[in-house]
Structure 1
């Protein structure tokens, strides 16, 4: 015997291992099936197998309303697919951050434009003239505008600090 020649002359993979067999059938000397344990076991096992096969009756139940059940199942599958499809598209919409941001931006732009139009309609002509002159000056001297805005911010900060100390 060696690794390449285990010493089995007639055994191969198809004959080795446990297979379905009636209890008491003779086994190969190399089989892992349980050998005979007592005299007459083979005859008793064959009789029991024959009795079981003679009296075993498989009587499946007749399908009741199979067509209706099948239609209901198909309908529920179709509804489930539609619901899952809606859920998937909703999740995809939620995951599209760029698209959602552009939608929000478009809505905000629309509201700002609407408010600006209302303010233009309500504002008197004198105020419009003053605002136009201030805008022209700001375009000519942007540094002046920055200094003015910095002064406004500084005034607001000082006011807030004074309020907190007053409490």
Structure 2
């Protein structure tokens, strides 16, 4: 008798927990569809698009320009402005990327045509807010804004 009650209680608990998980999943789906940032961006073409990340530090400023090409290759340009000497330095990286829906994995493994031992990698997520497309770095939460949006804001 004890065994049957134990088995019945285990089966019923699994049943109730699975219903609870189902309702949680439905709530999350509703939240994702309502949120403008989490919409499916598989229809947005990133080929021939440029995204810019600007960072300002005490001693220097960095501008990173990420350009996606048609053949799944990319160019990452890193421009560093030294504030103490007013000199500008640049690095041009090339590599490739893989895209699955909103997720984009970037690997830049060549510096000015020469292979580097440790490639620069970024895991990015394509997002949209107020019709502004941007890439959000999953690891650092930095935002790469599409270049055409920057040009619209200046004018």
Q: Which band: TM-score by shorter chain?
A: under 0.3
> Quick one: higher RCO (CA 8 Å, sep 6+), 1 or 2?
2
- Which one has the bigger strand percentage? 2
TM-score, normalised to structure 2, is: 0.28
- Which one has the bigger helix percentage? 1
